Chain A
Amino acid sequence: MTFLELSSLRKEFGAAVAVQDFNLQVEKGEFVSFLGPSGCGKTTVLRMIAGFEKPTRGRIIIDGKDVTALNANKRNIGMVFQQYALFPNMTVADNIQFGLKVAGADGGLRQKRIKDMLGIIHMEQFANRYPHQLSGGQQQRVALARALAIQPQVLLLDEPLSALDAKIRVNLRQEIRSIQRQLGITTIFVTHDQEEALSISDRIVVMNQGVIDQLGTPLDIYNRPQTSFVASFIGSLNVLQAQVVDRSAGRIRIDGQELTTGERIGSEADTVTVAIRPEAVSLNHANGHPNSISAAVDDIYFLGSVVRVRTKLKDQFLNVDMFNNPSMALPARGEQVLLSFAASAAKVL
């Protein structure tokens, strides 16, 4: 059952259109991420849901109730900002109980909620600290607790981890996800980091220039990008320009070398964009693959568990990812190699 529904949302700032024709239905308890480059309108959609921006057009419905005209302080939505949003003049405990206090809740309930929330974020011993005495990661956990303390219907997070160190970022996103599961709260998480979105979301909304480019599960988005924008934005996909050779057979030519794709090519096309995942390509391993093309090794990047070999065709580059294996023999830079991949791995966008 749909719990949060955004229908035909549009937001204009003067002559500029920040968001247009935004339609989304979120299930109760679902974790949905908005993913897209900076300036694509993610924050604007979130702020419309929170009530900080009034939509130019469209409706926002939460649990069957139209809240489009409701003031932000009447919406019962929790929000976590990018940073610096804790009240600096209040302790952690006072920050957490703020929502209950302004609602007139009695002291007993407030104390209990403070205790519960501090337990959830594992910060019991920090109740009397002031925000400036906490690390960035701790501050964001308190901000999360403060937002959850009012038991909101929907939780909104606007790039809550982007100001943190890489390691804390990974730990905290897992913590956010597990708290969200534990409470079953409907959540929208904004990020420009595709790895973050892919790792914790039920579904991802990929946005570009104010519109939804693709909506799907992380697997969908990663494996079946529907537009060249999604393909280039998600993962480290190789996106190549190709000429069509034989439409019905799916034959195309990239930098002078012919290969086969598993997909149909639109009848009107004579050049197409082809996406190939770097992990779908194998190096010097030509048995049974319909596609084998030659390239020169341009550079080699060691990425930890993965080694990325950047090869050059004629003008275009193609990355090949291999699992790091201590016994593997890496090609030398400048060496000619054979790249092979299944026809189905070459997606025409």
Chain B
Amino acid sequence: MASVTTTATTTGSPTPWVRLRSRLSFDWVGLVPFFAFVAVFLIFPALSIVVRALTDSAGNLTLANIAGLTNPVITLAYQNSLLVSLITAVSGSVLGGLLAWAITLGGLPGWIRSAVLSFSGVGANFAGVPLVFAFVALLGRIGLLNQLLKPTGVSIDPQTFLYGFWGLCIVYTYFQVPLMVLIMVPALEGLRKEWREAAENLGATQTQYWRYVAFPILMPAILGSAALLFANAFSTYVTATALLGAIGQTFAVTIVVANQFRTDTFGDPGLGFALAFSMMVVIGLTIALYTWSRRRAERWTRKVE
């Protein structure tokens, strides 16, 4: 019987069923764990956040949680979080971009490049309590800086710059820079020597080469990493609480969210879900802005007729 079916299908073009089956073949099996993972850990929690942000404890539809976001404490936390994220995305991009440029095209010895890359791999993931501890040990009241300054009689009070807005900016920049390096090094290495030489051969100065050739080619990567840095800072929690401690209980959005779910304080989980929902919106907008600008920046990679 089997042989009969085979002969039937081998004559003429494959039947729709055969084509469908080949399209659903083993190529797709590998994706199953991925889709399952996304469903369980991304789509489901996101939906549940949205639902809970819009319902009260009894399960009735309400906008009260969302309205709670206009609370001045929360708007201030938002302002802080957005500003810190923006500032460290820019400082990380600029400093990391320059560092990446220096170790790829800057003509430095090879060992510096591998040393910086190894450090970046670690530094980009160095956050939370250890990172804060390192900064306090360096810049704190009895930190290394003040120890060194002791003979001069000068003492720098960390309260004014470390345990606050700028402290957060400084500490975040520590992991933003290496993250930028990790993203930009491959992009910079993708710049072909021929492009620079062709530009030079055609009479262009270094500046003209960067302006008309290198920078436009790097633009998609720069936009991508800036967006990633922004989201990275915006969603940072442990580092912020560790640095700011008790004084920072309402300083950043992530801290305010976490506080709503703690049992030892007067938390409001409904507000917490509304805040989480609003953070999803911010990240979503970041991705949308990034996608749009990236599409503009890399028009030349797509087929246009």
Contacts and interface: CB of A to CB of B under 8 A. Distances in A.
Question: Which of A79, A87, A143 has the most C-beta atoms of chain B within 10 angstroms of its own C-beta?
Answer: A87
Nearest to A77: B201
B203 A99 contact: yes
Interface string A56-94: 000000000000000111101111010011111111000
Contact of A85 (B192, B204, B212, B303): B192
14 contacts: A50-B197, A71-B200, A72-B197, A73-B201, A77-B201, A81-B198, A85-B198, A87-B195, A87-B198, A88-B217, A88-B301, A99-B204, A146-B198, A146-B202
B15 interface: no
A73 B194 contact: no
Given A88-B301, A147-B201, 19 more contacts: A71-B200, A72-B201, A73-B205, A76-B203, A84-B194, A85-B194, A87-B195, A87-B199, A87-B212, A89-B217, A90-B212, A91-B300, A98-B204, A99-B202, A99-B204, A102-B204, A130-B304, A132-B300, A146-B202
Contacts of A71: 200
A79 B217 contact: no
Given A130-B300, A132-B301, A103 B213 contact: no
Contacts of A132: 300-301
A73 B216 contact: no
A225 to B, nearest CB: 34
B208 A89 contact: no
Interface string B173-213: 00000000000000000001011011111111100100011
B297 to A, nearest CB: 9
Contacts of A99: 202-204
Nearest to A156: B201
A337 interface: no
Contacts, number: 77
Contact of A98 (B192, B199, B304): B199
Contact of A89 (B197, B202, B213, B303): B213
A26 interface: no
A133 interface: yes
B202 A98 contact: yes
Interface of A: 50-52, 71-74, 76-79, 81, 84-91, 98-99, 101-103, 130, 132-133, 143, 146-147, 150
9 tightest Cβ-Cβ pairs between the two chains A and B = A99-B202, A85-B194, A102-B204, A89-B216, A79-B201, A89-B300, A72-B200, A85-B198, A73-B200
B303 A133 contact: yes
Given A87-B213, A88-B300, A73 B192 contact: no
Contacts of A72: 197, 200-201
Contacts of B200: 51-52, 71-73
Given A73-B205, A130-B300, A150-B202, A98 B212 contact: yes
Contacts of A101: 212
Contacts of B208: 102
Nearest to A50: B201
B205 A79 contact: no
Nearest to A91: B300
